[in-house]
A = this chain, B = another copy of it.
Amino acid sequence: MENGVGAIDGPTNPMVTPLLTDLYQFTMAYAYWKAGKHQERAVFDLYFRKNPFGGEYTVFAGLEECIRFIANFRLREDEINFIRESLPGSCEDGFFDYLRGIDCSDVELYAIPEGSVVFPKIPLLRVEGPIAVVQLLETPFVNLINYASLVSTNAARHRNVAGQSKTLLEFGLRRAQGPDGGLSASKYCYIGGFDATSSYSYCSNMNMSLDEIIDKSLRRKDSSSTCEDFVSLVQAWLNKIQWSSSLRGIFGETNQSECKNHFKAVLEQVMRSGIPNFCAVALALRDLGYKAVGIRLDSGDLAYLSCEVRKFFSSIEKEFAVPEFGKMSITASNDLNEETIDALNKQGHEVDAFGIGTYLVTCYAQAALGVVFKLVEINNQPRIKLSEDVSKVSIPCKKRSYRLYGREGYPLVDIMTGENEPPPQVGERILCRHPFQESKRAYVVPQQVEELLRCYWSGNSDIIREPLPSLRDIRERCIQQLEQMRPDHMRRLNPTPYKVSVSGKLYEFIHFLWLNEAPVGELQ
């Protein structure tokens, strides 16, 4: 059992069990079993058809959870009983004996590494194994990858618009679609380039005022002495701030012609009370060796307010000769999303960190990614799923995929080939064809060739499998892959589609199969 079942922890969420599926999958498994076909070796591809959020890229995530699931796939007796009760009474007992024995020791799973930038039609997973077993993996895999990839992509898009220098905080637990949505959102936003999840300062939200504080003592950070009345120290600083002529200038500076009445009141509240109070506390803390982190703006005109606050911090730095005070962190939140951050950038702002909640974790702009799981080969026979809608035709055969890089280091095109075709070679010209549109072809001379699918699960076979990388490594891969893309694929407005292709040989074979299987219409 080396390299086998049991070496890997189970899914993070204990509710991810083989019963996390549609009953339909067990009905299918029964039908295969009843027909004596359950052991036939099938190959399924998992992929999506369209990049989300109107963009031209997707971040692949959720792989580790799939591996944790497959490594521990076993039906418990109570689960088998539940299935028995759910299926028609006419199902034969032998099927349940069969279910009792199944695991994923005969399954192989190949995947693109988690955190990679990926594109439509290219398989994210290729899963091989007994058809009845692999059928039972469809729903959990699709569930685990759909939201994970969607929210990682959403996080990456928010990072892209916010820029590398900003801190991005995920604030979405309250608004997530259930507890799991909240917890996995944190993980997958981190992969997509966020820095942290909600853990913010609390000063402005405290339901008490200074005079309510009972224990007023605070020990110096270096423990050398104790300030017996921290509250008075704060009060003293507040007085200094209020009597400073240079700061009073700032108080009075709210340009009335520039801002609307509604907004003016927020501005006044922030600049007259919130910010001076914060600065007084920060300065008093500093006297005792502590460093305040910063403030959060949660309403009003965030661009304008952040600039006013920055001016105030800088004035404090100058007035009281406090180095670095002007660089105090300003966090902004309040229903932020890609569009609002873009608008803030255009207006100019002094925000250091964005807290993003609802729009991030619920993927408000597009709440689902259409991941599908399609049979592409059975018993070494290719399968194609036809549809009137060309975008829904599946690409048959057990395939390999490669990413071809150009002279400038950018990925140029992804290409799928048949399993046994020779791989593309660096420096050798290769024909890349659009899988369905005859006239779309390009010759490519790759400067680098990266095979995309790697083995992450090999059951009891001898195939060496990739170790599961740490969360930090997945995030690193994601950031590095996003940076490597040609910028026009990544821009928000009218991004250029990244090319996804098949080899000439695979193209011919797809279209041979297609013509073979599609019925010829009759005109009357």
Contacts and interface: CB of A to CB of B under 8 A. Distances in A.
Interface in A339-378: 358, 362-364, 367-368, 370-371, 375, 378
A175 B212 contact: no
Nearest to A263: B388
Interface in A161-206: 171, 173-184, 198-200, 202, 205-206
A179 B13 contact: yes
Nearest to A35: B213
A146 interface: yes
Contacts of A27: 199, 202
Interface stretch (A15-23, A276-284, A302-310): A15-23
Interface string A1-38: 00000000001011110001111100110010011110
Contacts of A208: 35, 37
A177 B363 contact: yes
A24 B200 contact: yes
A242 interface: no
With a 10 A CB-CB cut-off, give which of A16, A177, A213, A389 has the most chain B CB atoms: A177
Interface of A: 11, 13-16, 20-24, 27-28, 31, 34-37, 86, 90, 131, 138-140, 142-144, 146-148, 150-151, 171, 173-184, 198-200, 202, 205-208, 212-215, 221, 252, 262-263, 265-266, 268-269, 273, 299-300, 358, 362-364, 367-368, 370-371, 375, 378, 383, 387-389, 519, 521, 524
19 contacts: A13-B13, A13-B179, A20-B183, A21-B173, A23-B199, A24-B199, A24-B202, A34-B215, A86-B199, A139-B173, A143-B174, A178-B178, A178-B180, A178-B181, A265-B388, A268-B521, A269-B519, A299-B388, A358-B368
Given A16-B179, A35-B215, 12 more contacts: A13-B178, A20-B183, A22-B173, A28-B202, A131-B207, A140-B179, A177-B181, A177-B367, A178-B181, A265-B388, A269-B519, A299-B387
